[in-house]
Structure 1
C-alpha cells in the first residue's frame, strides 16, 4: 500500500519537489510555468539556451522543466542536456540531483541512489538528495529507511513545505493518518498556494470519516488547481458518502472529462447514476467501460471489468429478471409507484413467479394502500422461496459474496417481507395474521441484522398499540430502539404512546400507522380532571425528548418537528414556532390558525 501511495501521488507533488538552487531564477521559472504552462516554460529556456549556449543556468532550468514534463522523450532530452553540462562542470550538484530524479522516474532506483551520493556532498542540494533517497526507499518498500531520509531532509530545512508533504505521505502510506494530517497542515502553513497539501488533507479526512472536512479539502485543492482529475474523483467519493449524489455525479463527470482513460472514474459514475435511479445512464457507462478493455486487458484490470460485467449482466440485460425489477425499484424510489408497477408487471409477464419481482410489486401495492392485493403478492412470494437462492446469487446486490453471505441475506430478506405482510394485515385490521407474520419473522431473531429485528419489534409494538395494550407496545418500541436507535419513526411511536399515557391527548387510530413524514397527526387535546398533573407533565417532557431523538436519527422528519411543537403548546411553552415552521418547511400541512400564532 505504501509504495502505491507514493507512486500515485508522485505526479501531484512534482512541482513542489523542485531543487533549491538559484532561488530568484527558480522563482521566475515557477511563476512562468504557473502563468503560461509547462510547455511554454520549456520553449522559453530552450530558446535562451540556444541564444546563449555557454550559459549553464539556462540549461539547468531547461533540464529541470523537462524532468517535470515526465515523458520518456522529455527525460531523454533532459539527460542529454545534463550530461553536456557535466562534461564542462563535473561538480554540478544540481545536475547529479536531476539525473537522480530522471532515473527515479524511470524506476531505476539503484542508479538514482548512486547519483544522490554525488549531490549529498554539496550543501546546496544535500536536503534534496535526502528527499530523493526517501522517495527511492519508499518505492522499494523500505519504509524505515524512507522515513529516516525524510527526517534528515527536514532537519536541514525545517521550513520547506515539500519535506513536510513528503513525511506526511510516508505516514499516510504507513497507516498513521493523524500524524500525516499534522504534516500536511504544517506544509499548508508554510505554503498555502500549492495543490498537494489541501488535497492530501482531504485524503486524510476521508480516511478518518470526517466527510465535511474532506469535501472542504478537495474543494480547496481544486480552487488551487482545477486540472487535477484525481481531486474531482475523491471529491465525488466524499460527496457520495455524504449522500450528495447529484454533486458527486458532477464531480466524477469532471474527472472523466480531465482524464477519460481512468476506468475507475467511469465505474464510479455508473454507480452514482444507479444511486440516482438512472438505470439507463448507468448501463451506458458500464457498457462504455467494458468496451475500453480488450481480451488481453481482462487480467490486467480484472476486478473492475468483472464487476462491470456482473452489473451489466444484471439490470442491464433484458434477458434477466433484474432488468425489470431494478427499473421498477428506480421508479419506486422516485415515488412513481404506478410506473414501478408497470415494470414489475413486465417482469412477471416474462418471468412468472420470480420472487424478487413479487416482493417488490407487493411493496408498491402496500404504499399505494392496495392492501388486499399486497397480501396476495406477499403470499405468492413466500410460496416461491425455493427459488430465492438462485436469483439472489445472480443479483447486483450480492456480487462477490460467499455462501455464508448469501445465507445472511436470505435470512434477513424473508423476515423483512414478513414485516411488510404484517403491515398490510395491520392496515386491514387483521391483528391475528399480523401477529403471526411478526412471530415468523422473529423466529431466528439471533441471526437477524439489528435494523431488521428492530423494525419487526416496532411493528409488533404498533399491533399492541392498536389493541390498546400500551405497556406491551412501549416494551416493543423500547426494545426496537435498543437494537437500532436510528429508527426515527419508532421514536415518534414512543412519543405518541406517552401522549396517550398522559391522559391529556386523544389520538386517532389512523395517526399511529403513518407512513408519510409529510402528513399531520390527528390529535385532540383536552383537560382530564382525573389525570395527575406532574405525572402528565413528566410524560409530555419525555415525549419531547423522543421527538428530539427522532430528529437526530432523521433531520428531515417533519412529523417530529410538528409533534414537538404541539407538545410544547400543551405544556404552555411559547418556544414552539421554530418547530412548527420547520415542520411546514419539510412539507407537513399545518393549519392557518397554527401558522398565525407564529406570524403575529
Structure 2
C-alpha cells in the first residue's frame, strides 16, 4: 500500500516584518490583504517611487510579492532575484524566494533557495519550511533533520509536530512519533488533523481503543479527511481490533508491528488459518524465511485454508531461497487446484528455466499464453528463455509483444534491449532507457556501460 504523507501547511501569506524601512509601511499593509486590487496599487506606487529606490532590496521584495499576487510569476521571480543580488547575504530574501517557488510548483528550486537561507541564518522557521519541501520531494531523512533543527532553533507549531509525527511513523519510530503527536494536540486542541494523525499513530502501536477515541475527536471537530476505523471495529472484540490493526499495519508495510498484532492473537489461542497466513507473509517480506515457512505450513493444517494463496506464497518463498524443486512442487499444486489459472504456469516455468529444463519451461510459458493470450509477463519470460537459448529473433518478437501489450512493462524493455543488442540493432539504448523509466534497476548498469 502506498503511504500518503499528509503535510500540515501554513498558508503562504504576505504578512512580513519590514527590516526597519518604515517608508514601506503603507505598502506592507496593502500586501498583507492578499488582494489583487491592492497588489495593483502597490505596483503603481512602487513605479512612482524615486529611481534610487530600485537599488533597494526591500523595494524589489515588495515588487515581487505584488507581482506574485497578480500571478505574474516571472516578474515575481525576477524581482526577488534583484533583492538577492543587492543583498546576497540576507537570508530573508532567499527564504522568501523559496516560499514563492514552492507555491508556484518548483519545489526543487525552492529547496535550493531555502538551503541557502538556513546556511546564512539557521532560523527555526527556515528549517521548518525546508522540511516541508523535503517532505514534498519524499526526502524524508532530510525532512526529519529539518524539523529537528526547527525545534532546536526555537520554532514550534502544531503543524510542525504533525508533520514530524508523519515522518517518524514512516520510519517506524512509533514511540517517538507519539510524543510529537501529543504535542500537536496539546498546542491546539481544536486541530482535527492532529487528532487524526495521532489516531493512526495509536493504531500502529496496536492501541485500537485510543485510535478510535482520536478518530471520533477529529470527526467531531469537523475534520473531513479523518483516519478511518470502522465503528464495527471500535465497538468490536479484542480479536476484531487486533485483526484490523494487524491487517492495516501489513497493508502499510509496517510488518514488524503487524507480526506483533498477529502474535497477540495467536498467544490468545486464536488458531485461524488466515492469521498464520498473514503473519507468514509479514515474515516473508522481512526475509525471515524460516518463520514464514512455519506459518504457511501451519495455515495449511488449520480449517478453511486459502490453498491457492498459500501454495502461491510457498512457491515464491522457495524460489527466493533458490529451492526450485520445492517451488515447482507448490506451483504444481496450485495448477492442480485450477488448471485454467494462467499465472502458476509462468511461476513453474521460471523454476524450470533456473534448473535449465528449457523444454519444460517453454511448455509452461506456452500453456500460460494459451489460457491468456495477452499475458505480457508470459511473453517477457519466454523472451528471456529464448535469449538464454541464443534464439535472438524469437526473443525479440516475444519481448516486442510484451511491451506492445503493456507499454510500461520494464522487464520487457530490458529483454528487448538485450535481444536487439545481440542482433546488432543499434537502437537498444532506447529500450534500456524505457526499462529504467518504468523501474527496472538492472537497466541502470547497462545504460552506464553501453549508452554513455
Superposition TM-score tier, normalisation by shorter sequence:
0.5 to 0.7
- What is the CA deviation profile of residues 229-267 of structure 1, one whole-angstrom value per residue up to 9, with x for unaligned ones? 221111112222333322211111111223454111111
Question: 3-state DSSP class of the match of 2:54?
Answer: coil
Given candidates 59, 76, 79, the residue that maps to 1:163 is 59
Structure 2 residue runs of 5 or longer lacking an equivalent are 1-9, 209-240, 320-326, 345-373, 387-393
Question: 3-state DSSP class of the match of 2:16?
Answer: helix
Question: 3-state DSSP class of the match of 2:424?
Answer: helix
Are the aligned partners of 2:128 and 2:146 in contact in 1 as well (CA < 8 Å)?
yes
Q: Distance in 1 between matches of 2:415 and 2:67?
A: 52
Structure 1 residue runs of 5 or longer lacking an equivalent are 20-127, 385-416, 440-455, 505-535, 569-574, 579-600
Q: Distance in 2 between matches of 1:275 and 1:434?
A: 41
Closer, same or farther: CA 180–358 of 1 in aligned 2, 3 Å: farther
1:252 correspondence with 2:135:
no
Closer, same or farther: CA 146–372 of 1 in aligned 2, 3 Å: same
Closer, same or farther: CA 182–426 of 1 in aligned 2, 3 Å: farther
User: Which residues of 2 match residues 245-324 of structure 1 at below 5 A?
Assistant: 245-293=140-188, 297-298=189-190, 302-319=191-208, 320-321=241-242, 324=246
TM-aligned CA deviation for residue 434 of structure 1: 9.7
Given candidates 185, 194, 197, the residue that maps to 2:81 is 185
Given candidates 517, 537, 542, the residue that maps to 2:424 is 537
Q: Distance in 2 between matches of 1:292 and 1:217?
A: 30
Q: Distance in 1 between matches of 2:176 and 2:109?
A: 30
User: Which residues of 2 match residues 480-499 of structure 1 at below 5 A?
Assistant: 480=406, 482=407, 485=408, 490-497=409-416, 499=418
Closer, same or farther: CA 177–153 of 1 in aligned 2, 3 Å: closer
Question: 3-state DSSP class of the match of 1:10?
Answer: coil
Closer, same or farther: CA 437–492 of 1 in aligned 2, 3 Å: closer
Q: Distance in 1 between matches of 2:375 and 2:282?
A: 19
State which structure, 1 or 2, has the greater radius of gyration over its C-alpha atoms: 1
Are the aligned partners of 1:344 and 1:361 in contact in 2 as well (CA < 8 Å)?
no
Q: Distance in 2 between matches of 1:214 and 1:273?
A: 24
Closer, same or farther: CA 366–195 of 1 in aligned 2, 3 Å: closer
Question: 3-state DSSP class of the match of 2:98?
Answer: helix
**Aligned match of 1:560:** 443
TM-aligned CA deviation for residue 375 of structure 1: 10
Closer, same or farther: CA 265–565 of 1 in aligned 2, 3 Å: closer
Q: Distance in 1 between matches of 2:339 and 2:89?
A: 64
Query: TM-score when scaled to structure 2?
Result: 0.61
- What is the CA deviation profile of residues 141-174 of structure 1, one whole-angstrom value per residue up to 9, with x for unaligned ones? 5431333134313431222221221122233345
**Aligned match of 1:235:** 130
Q: Distance in 2 between matches of 1:288 and 1:310?
A: 14
Closer, same or farther: CA 360–167 of 1 in aligned 2, 3 Å: farther
Given candidates 22, 28, 34, the residue that maps to 1:135 is 28
Are the aligned partners of 2:30 and 2:38 in contact in 1 as well (CA < 8 Å)?
yes
Q: Distance in 2 between matches of 1:199 and 1:132?
A: 21
TM-aligned CA deviation for residue 377 of structure 1: 7.3
Question: 3-state DSSP class of the match of 1:158?
Answer: helix
Given candidates 200, 215, 235, the residue that maps to 2:96 is 200
Closer, same or farther: CA 272–356 of 1 in aligned 2, 3 Å: farther
TM-aligned CA deviation for residue 367 of structure 1: 7.2
Q: Distance in 2 between matches of 1:476 and 1:134?
A: 62
1:546 correspondence with 2:431:
yes
Are the aligned partners of 2:97 and 2:110 in contact in 1 as well (CA < 8 Å)?
yes
Closer, same or farther: CA 197–423 of 1 in aligned 2, 3 Å: farther
**Aligned match of 1:436:** 341
Given candidates 272, 281, 288, the residue that maps to 1:362 is 281
Q: Distance in 2 between matches of 1:372 and 1:152?
A: 77
Given candidates 12, 16, 33, the residue that maps to 1:10 is 16
Are the aligned partners of 2:27 and 2:42 in contact in 1 as well (CA < 8 Å)?
yes
- What is the CA deviation profile of residues 367-402 of structure 1, one whole-angstrom value per residue up to 9, with x for unaligned ones? 747689769979x9x999xxxxxxxxxxxxxxxxxx
Closer, same or farther: CA 358–347 of 1 in aligned 2, 3 Å: farther
Question: 3-state DSSP class of the match of 2:434?
Answer: helix
Are the aligned partners of 2:380 and 2:398 in contact in 1 as well (CA < 8 Å)?
no
Q: Distance in 2 between matches of 1:377 and 1:457?
A: 31
Closer, same or farther: CA 565–537 of 1 in aligned 2, 3 Å: farther
Q: Distance in 2 between matches of 1:188 and 1:356?
A: 60
Q: Distance in 1 between matches of 2:434 and 2:297?
A: 33
Closer, same or farther: CA 215–6 of 1 in aligned 2, 3 Å: closer
- What is the CA deviation profile of residues 511-557 of structure 1, one whole-angstrom value per residue up to 9, with x for unaligned ones? xxxxxxxxxxxxxxxxxxxxxxxxx101xx444433333345559x3
Q: Distance in 2 between matches of 1:247 and 1:187?
A: 28
Given candidates 41, 44, 47, the residue that maps to 1:148 is 41
Q: Distance in 1 between matches of 2:286 and 2:340?
A: 20
Q: Distance in 2 between matches of 1:329 and 1:317?
A: 14
- What is the CA deviation profile of residues 77-128 of structure 1, one whole-angstrom value per residue up to 9, with x for unaligned ones? xxxxxxxxxxxxxxxxxxxxxxxxxxxxxxxxxxxxxxxxxxxxxxxxxxx2
